[in-house]
Structure 1
Amino acid sequence: MKRFALLLGGPLLATEALRARLQGYRLLAADSGGRHALALGLPLELWLGDFDSSPPWLQQILPAPKEVLPRDKDVTDGEALVRKALDLGAEAMLLLGALGGRLDHTLAHLELAFSLAALGVQVELSDGLTRAFPLLPGSHTFPLEAGAPFSLLPFPEATLGVEGARWNLPPAPLKATTLTLENRALGPIRVRVEAGRAVLYLF
């Protein structure tokens, strides 16, 4: 499987666990996401963007092949990087720096994640500490440890259910609700989305 890790502009906690996980991933960065490669101490295959948010000192010390984009364009550097990864044959994408920071970018990253999932790409978003997964209709199993906290969010509405949790839920239509926030896993959980879209958030 062709696995890509995309370094985006949001906050990212560069942990040893994340460094170890990235072994076997092809690493690409969008503009200011290049700073995360420096923090991780990992080489970039490609650094793409208009570089309006990457200071000169970073561009001088970070060795990476660059693809410079115009500042006036119809997509963000992050979306351009997602498209580049698709062109390179990505089958799984880990979007790092995709959560937190600017709300507009976080929401846009979630929408991009759903579009990737619809193409059959395995996708996860993370800030190095928390993780999010887009869920389309179907059955989804996650190997969580007992006691692990999680939330399910209809995005913006979904008919969904969950098993293997402290508070199980039979499939129910949900919209604009906090009913499925802050649950606890008893072990692996099974989420069934019968209609709509949802986000699984691990924290």
Structure 2
Amino acid sequence: MKRFALLLGGPLLATEALRARLQGYRLLAADSGGRHALALGLPLELWLGDFDSSPPWLQQILPAPKEVLPRDKDLTDGEALVRKALDLGAEAMLLLGALGGRLDHTLAHLELAFSLAALGVQVELSDGLTRAFPLLPGSHTFPLEPGAPFSLLPFPEATLGVEGARWNLPPAPLKATTLTLENRALGPIRIRVEAGRAVLYLF
């Protein structure tokens, strides 16, 4: 499977666990996401963007092949990077620096994740500490440890249920609810999305 880790511009906690996990991933960065490559100490295959948010000192010290985009364009640098990864045959994408920071970018990244999932790409978003997964209609199993906290969010509405949690939920139509926040896994959880879209958030 062709796995790509895309370094985006949001906050990212560069941990040893994350460095170890990235073994076997091809690393690409969008504009200011290049700073995460320095923090991780890992080489970039490509650094893409209009570079309006990457200071000159970063561009001078980060050794990476660059693809410069025009500043006036109809997509973000992150979306352009997602398209580049698809062109390179990505089957799984880890979107790092995709959560937190600017709310508009976080929501745009979630929409990108759903579009990738619809194409059959395995996708996960993370800030290095928390993780999010887009869920389309169907059954989804996640091998969580007992006691692991999670939230399950309709995005923006869904008919969904969960088993294997402290608070199980039979399939129910939900939207704009706190009912499915801050649950706890008893072990692997099974989520059924019967209609709509949802986000699994691990924290």
Measured against the shorter chain, the TM-score band is over 0.9
In structure 1, what is the Cα distance between the partners aligned to 2:46 and 2:67? 7
Shift of 1:95: 0.1
Shift of 1:26: 0.2
Map 1:87-106; keep pairs closer than 5 Å. 87-106=87-106
Shift of 1:99: 0.1
Shift of 1:120: 0.1
Shift of 1:53: 0.2
Shift of 1:56: 0.3
Secondary structure, aligned partner of 2:73: coil
TM-score (norm 2): 1.00
In structure 2, what is the Cα distance between the partners aligned to 1:132 and 1:35? 22
What are the Cα deviations for residues 83-122 of structure 1, in whole angstroms up to 9, with x where unaligned?
Answer: 0000000000000000000000000000000000000000
1:175 maps to what in 2?
175
Shift of 1:173: 0.3
Identity of aligned residues (%): 99
Any gaps of 5 or more consecutive residues in structure 2? none
Shift of 1:76: 0.3
In structure 2, what is the Cα distance between the partners aligned to 1:2 and 1:134? 19
In structure 2, what is the Cα distance between the partners aligned to 1:196 and 1:65? 40
Question: Deviating runs (4+, > 2 A) in structure 1?
Answer: none
In structure 1, what is the Cα distance between the partners aligned to 2:125 and 2:176? 22
Secondary structure, aligned partner of 2:116: helix
In structure 1, what is the Cα distance between the partners aligned to 2:9 and 2:141? 29
Shift of 1:189: 0.2
In structure 2, what is the Cα distance between the partners aligned to 1:58 and 1:177? 42
In structure 2, what is the Cα distance between the partners aligned to 1:177 and 1:128? 26
What are the Cα deviations for residues 21-45 of structure 1, in whole angstroms up to 9, with x where unaligned?
Answer: 0000000000000000000000000
TM-score (norm 1): 1.00
Secondary structure, aligned partner of 2:51: coil
Secondary structure, aligned partner of 1:53: coil
Any gaps of 5 or more consecutive residues in structure 1? none
